[in-house]
Amino acid sequence: MIQIIRADKQQTLRLIARREQEAPNVEAPVAEILKQVRTGGDAVLLNLEERFDGVRLDGLSVTREEIEDAWNSVGEAFQKVLTDSAANISAFHRKQVRNNFIITGENGAVLGQRITPIERAGIYVPGGTAAYPSSVLMNALPAKIAGVKEIIMVTPPGKDGKIAPAILAAAKVAGVDRVFKIGGAQAVAALAFGTESVPKVDKIVGPGNLYVATAKRQVYGIVGIDMIAGPSEILVIADDTANPRFVAADLLSQAEHDRMASAILVCTSELLAKTVAEEIEQQLPSLIRQEIARESIDRNGRIFVMDSLEDAVEICNAIAPEHLELAVDDPFGLMTRVTNAGSIFLGKHVPEALGDYYAGPNHTLPTSGTARFSSPLSVDDFIKKSSFLYYTKEALAEAKDTVAAFAEKEGLTAHARSMTIRFEK
C-alpha cells in the first residue's frame, strides 16, 4: 500500500532529497556495441537484432508498402485519433517557431541572429512488446515544423520481424521520411555513425531503456541529443476539494509505466490522503499492468500531508517533477508559485494522460529533477541559432580602441593588433 507521511516541511524536504539510485553499469557493453556498429555497419546491426531482439531480419528498412499496409490495417477510427492528435500537437508547436532578427546602428553596424533547422534528425521510438505511436507524433512533428529536411525513425521489431502497425501509421501522419527496424544501443549507434543503410543524423531524440539512454550519453558530441530520460514521474498537489477517485487514477496512470516510476501526492487533508490510498488499492486489480503498477506504488509511491498549499509548492519545486497536476480550486494562482516542473496540468479535470496523447504540449519531458534546468522537447531542439555581424570601417573605428584595450588586458596582443592594423598608415 502507498505510504502516507505526515511531517513538517523541513522533515519532508529531507525525505524527498534525491539519492543516487543503484543502476546496472552498462557503460562497457554499450561502448562495445557502439564500436561494433561503427566498424561493422549493417551486418553487425542484423547480428545484434538477432542477439538482443530475437529476430532474424532480411533487411533493416521499412518499405513504403509496409507503411501503407499498416495505415490501412489500423482502421478509420484510429486514423482519426492520430490525425486529431497530430493537429493539436502541430498547432501548439507552431507557436514555438522563432524568427530571425536584425539590429542596425546609425554608424553602419548590422547585428543579427539567423535560425536554421538541423539537416537530419533521428527519432528513437520504443517498440517490440509495446507500441507507443504517441512518441512518434511528439518527436517527429516538432522536427517537421522546425523545417528538418529528413526525419529518420528507428524502432525495434517484434519477434515476427514487423513493426507495430500503430507506430507505422503514426509515422505516416507525422511525415517521417524513413523507418528502420532497429532497437537498443545498436540503433543509437546506427544513427550516430551511419551505416550502409542508415544515414548519419545530426541529433537523436526520443526515450528508451537504460541501454538506449547510455548510448545517447556516449555518442553526445558526435551528434546532439535531446535529454537522458529517467523513469516516469507524477506529482499531484491537491486540496481537500479534490476527488480521491480521480487523484488515485492519475497516480496509477504513471505507476503503470514501469516499476521504477514514481507517483507522489502532496495534499493538505489527512482524510483525502487516506481515501486516495484506499482508492489506489481498489483500482489496482483492474489494471492490465497491475503487477508493474503495484511494484511502482509500493517502492516509490508516497503521500505527503502538509500544513498548507504553500508548503506543498515548496516540496514540488524541490522535487522538480516531470508531470505536475494542480488539483485545487485555484490552479492558475498556485501555478505562479511553481518554478520547477516539466508540464503542469491545471485543475481537477485535466488528467496527465490528456497531455500524453492529445492536448498539444509535448510529452517528452525532463525527469529525475532535471526540470530545474531543462525543458520539454520543442521546436527549439531542432534548430540552430547563428549570430552575424557587419561593421563599416567607420563603425570599426569607433570600437577600435575599446576592443584593443580589452584584448590587451587579457594578454591577447594578436587580437588587439587585428583591430589596430586596419588603421595604420
143-146 contacts, C-beta under 8 A, 24 or more apart? 143/205, 143/381, 143/382, 144/174, 144/175, 145/90, 145/93, 145/94, 145/96, 145/97, 145/379, 146/97, 146/117, 146/118, 146/379, 146/381, 146/382, 146/383
DSSP-H helix ranges across 322-392:
331-335, 352-357
For the chain, the helix, strand and coil percentages under 3-state DSSP, each to the nearest 5 = 50, 15, 35
Angle 224-111-147 from CA coordinates, rounded to 5°: 40
CA 209 remoteness from chain centre: 13
Burial class, 175, CB count within 10 angstroms (exposed 0-12 / middle 13-18 / buried 19+)? middle
User: Cβ(127)–Cβ(163) under 8 Å?
Assistant: yes
Per DSSP, the residues of 253-309 read HHHTT-TT-EEEEEES-HHHHHHHHHHHHHHGGG-TTHHHHHHHHHHH-EEEE-S-H
Residue 352 annotated as catalytic: no
Angle 11-230-280 from CA coordinates, rounded to 5°: 60
Choice among 49, 233, 322, 352 that is catalytic: 322
Nearest in space to 62 (alpha carbons), one of 202, 197, 208, 209 = 197
Name, in order, each residue with C-beta under 8 angstroms of 77's C-beta and a sequence gap of 6 or more: none
Nearest in space to 389 (alpha carbons), one of 109, 115, 114 = 109
Strands 383-390 and 110-117, sheet pairing: antiparallel
In this structure, the chain runs to a length of 425
CA atoms within 13 A on the CB side of 69: 8
Choice among 323, 325, 352, 363 that is catalytic: 323
Residue 66 annotated as catalytic: no
Name, in order, each residue with C-beta under 8 angstroms of 160's C-beta and a sequence gap of 6 or more: 55
Residue 418 cell numbers, joined: 587585428
- Active-site residues, by number, are 322-323
